[in-house]
Amino acid sequence: MKKMNIGVLVSGNGSNLQAIIDRTNEKSFPAKVSTVISSKAQAYALQRAQKHEIPCYAVRKKDFDSQASWEQRILQILHKHDVKLIVLAGFNKILSASFVRKYRWRIINIHPSLIPAFCGKHFYGMKVHKAVIDSGVKITGATVHFVTEKVDAGPIILQKAVQVKDYDTPETLCERVLRVEHEILPEAVRLIAEEKIEVVGNRVNIKTEVCV
Ligand code: GRF
């Protein structure tokens, strides 16, 4: 079985990257991480990649003259490692529309809420969990979706709910949400690599799931 090459884009701790690496290390998993690219030089995610001997790169936007030249460098690395699927796993930069069009339905993102709630340009990191708690909702969760030109608005692949508990802090909630992120992100990679995903309009159908 030829495994699908994936490129994981990160900016921080990389616990989602770790979850993907752990799943891809299973013999029957249909994808492998062929490269990791970080927008930050100090990201712990880079150390995780090195530990598993995955070629990794820090490509900081501030080292380039423009968004286009920064993205050009990322594209070069993705081509070098023959990446077929890009996974944004805690990547804190927004990719341009022209980049997204080059990889149509081949970029996915994990977001720490149930989209379309608590998402968009201003909702990232701990801000999401703080907003969830302040709003008083009792349920939140995580979403894996395709990346399109509009931030956090692409077709949803998988979602999983998490209960917001009384006295939760953004930190305790984040921890619980991360646990489900670590389940659904590798699972979405598997479904894509096994060609089980079909996008119809803004809807994703999973080919094995038969509706009765
Ligand atoms: C995750 O909560 C992810 O959803 C968000 O940033 C966090 C990254 O965590 N976009 P990690 O770097 O994978 O540990």
SS3 state of residue 44: helix
Q: Pick the closest to residue 172 from 133, 117, 115, 119 (CA basis).
A: 133
The pLDDT tens digits of the residues spanning 93-122 come to 999 999 999 999 999 999 999 999 999 988
Residue among 8, 41, 12, 37 at smallest CA distance from 23: 8
State the Cα–Cα distance between residues 151 and 155, nearest whole angstrom.
11
- Quick one: pLDDT at residue 126? 95
Q: Is the CB of 89 under 6 A from ligand 1?
A: yes
For residue 140, give the H/E element and its range. Answer: strand 139-146
Reading the block at residue 126, the tokens are 């701990």
Residue nearest to atom 6 of ligand 1 (CA): 90
16 Cα to the center of ligand 1, angstroms: 6
| pLDDT above 70 for 211 | no
pTM of the entire structure?
A: 0.96
What atom of ligand 1 comes closest to residue 91's alpha carbon?
10
Q: For 141-190, write each residue's pLDDT tens digit.
A: 999 999 999 999 999 999 999 999 999 999 999 999 999 999 999 999 99
Task: Identify whether the C-beta of residue 139 lies closer than 8 Å to the C-beta of residue 161.
Answer: yes
